[in-house]
């Protein structure tokens, strides 16, 4: 039986005192309900975390909550026999920092149905360099392959390639056997993107879309982090029966298109909603990430490692467009 303990957490409030987030002391007895109590070793910073931590986006559905949509650590107590003390586990999405306490605390309590045993071939640290970002990219590979995407169909365009999801997507799609064409507005990062496996880098500022309902096919498929005009421009460039996996909206939530890419070339748009991924797919994705799709360049993609106390600075930089690569959060790891 675990004895309730005090610990530090980055906790977010929205009440009469206003919207605020910061380090505070709380007790494990006050954590969200769940069968598995975990001592957190690492978390990570995603754009969604920056929005939640600053109040710039409506992410949390209840208050107060600990931030952090990712968590990895060691089980200290469990009422579910599937997990025992000392097990290494992880969790991404699944309501963390949305409807329940997230990974920005030295402890987290998780429902067993969303607790994933750390797959063989991964360390806790590696799992959080990847986190939701790699999970999203790998889920896109899985869904595209389920819809018959093959490397022989042509290169995969990755938009927003300089972001965390984009960088990991380059590595993961390359590992899965695809040529990757990275699209980014940050041309000074092109050499770095090539080092991750991009075969070609395309400056989005110089990517001229014709505006035609159909154009010469250029990409076998795409992972789009941007949405808006980028997504509209990509669809006419996809080969017959290619897939565009949509996972972000950095360029806007609305896009204007026609039915032509769908009824003439049979293109498909696949939605990638990583936070609510069913458990069977979740396990499948993490097994891939621990083996045949494991990114080769994790230590290079992890460009920064911070503590809970440094999170506000990280959030501000990310929302200002100044972040690069993945930020790992060292919560309780030695």
Residue 240 belongs to a domain:
yes
- 140 shares a domain with 265: yes
Domain CATH for 321: 3.90.180.10
Residue 288 belongs to a domain:
no
Q: What are phi and psi of 189, to 5 degrees?
A: -100, 5
- 211 shares a domain with 138: yes
Residue 71 belongs to a domain:
yes
Is 34:107 a contact under the CB 8 Å cutoff?
no
Cis status of the peptide bond prior to 64, with omega within 30 of 0 = yes
- 205 shares a domain with 78: no
Dihedral of alpha carbons 264, 240, 276, 108, sign:
negative
CA distances from 294 to 32, 46, 106, 170, 290 (A): 32, 19, 27, 12, 5
Beta strand extents in the chain (DSSP E only):
6-15, 18-27, 36-45, 65-66, 70-78, 88-92, 107-110, 116-117, 156-159, 180-184, 200-203, 221-224, 243-246, 268-271, 302-306, 326-330
Total domain count, the chain: 2
- 266 shares a domain with 152: yes
- 144 shares a domain with 102: no
Is 124:333 a contact under the CB 8 Å cutoff?
yes
Domain CATH for 230: 3.40.50.720
Q: Structural domain of residue 65, as residue ranges? A: 6-118+297-330
- 254 shares a domain with 137: yes
Is 265:239 a contact under the CB 8 Å cutoff?
yes
Residue 43 belongs to a domain:
yes
Assign 26 to helix, strand or coil.
strand
Would you call 211 exposed, middle or buried from its count of C-beta atoms within 10 A (0-12, 13-18, 19+)?
exposed
Residue 104 belongs to a domain:
yes
- 262 shares a domain with 310: no
- 139 shares a domain with 197: yes
Distance CA(244)–CA(157), nearest Å, equals 9
pLDDT in tens, the chain (334 residues): 678 899 999 999 999 999 999 999 999 999 999 999 999 999 999 999 999 999 999 999 999 999 999 999 999 999 999 999 999 999 999 999 999 999 999 999 999 999 999 999 999 999 999 999 999 999 999 999 999 999 999 999 999 999 999 999 999 999 999 999 999 999 999 999 999 999 999 999 888 899 999 999 999 999 999 999 999 999 999 999 999 999 998 889 999 999 999 999 999 999 999 988 999 999 999 999 999 999 999 999 999 999 999 999 999 999 988 888 899 999 996 5
- 144 shares a domain with 267: yes
- 241 shares a domain with 188: yes
């Amino acid at each position: 039986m675990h004895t309730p303990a005090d610990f530090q957490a980055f906790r977010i409030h929205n009440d009469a005192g206003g919207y605020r987030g910061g380090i505070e002391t709380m007790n494990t007895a006050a954590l969200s309900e769940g069968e598995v109590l975990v001592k957190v070793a690492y978390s990570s910073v995603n754009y969604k975390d920056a929005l939640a931590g600053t109040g710039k986006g409506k992410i949390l559905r209840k208050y107060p909550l600990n931030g952090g949509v990712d968590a990895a650590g060691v089980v200290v107590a469990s009422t579910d026999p599937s997990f025992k003390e000392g097990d290494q586990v992880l969790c991404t999405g699944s309501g963390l920092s949305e409807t329940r306490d997230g990974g920005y605390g030295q402890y987290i309590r998780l429902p067993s149905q969303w607790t994933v045993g750390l797959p063989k071939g991964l360390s806790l640290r590696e799992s959080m360099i990847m986190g939701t970002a790699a999970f999203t990219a790998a889920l896109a590979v899985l869904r595209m392959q389920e819809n018959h995407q093959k490397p022989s169909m042509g290169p995969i365009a990755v938009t927003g390639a300089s972001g965390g999801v984009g960088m990991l997507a380059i590595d993961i799609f390359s590992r899965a056997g695809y040529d990757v064409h990275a699209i980014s507005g940050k041309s000074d990062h092109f050499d770095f993107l090539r080092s991750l496996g991009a075969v070609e880098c395309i400056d989005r500022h110089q990517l001229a879309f014709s505006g035609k309902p159909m154009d010469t096919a250029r990409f076998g498929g795409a992972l789009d982090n941007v949405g808006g005009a980028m997504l509209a421009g990509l669809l006419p460039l996809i080969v017959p029966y290619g897939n565009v996996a949509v996972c972000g909206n950095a360029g806007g939530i609305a896009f204007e298109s026609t039915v032509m890419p769908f009824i003439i070339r049979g293109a498909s748009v696949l939605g990638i909603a990583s936070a609510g991924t069913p458990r069977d797919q979740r396990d499948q994705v993490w097994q891939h990430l621990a083996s045949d799709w494991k990114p080769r360049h994790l230590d290079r993609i992890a460009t920064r490692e911070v503590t809970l106390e440094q999170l506000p600075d990280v959030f501000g930089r990310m929302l200002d467009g100044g972040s690069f690569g993945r930020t790992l959060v060292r919560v309780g790891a030695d």
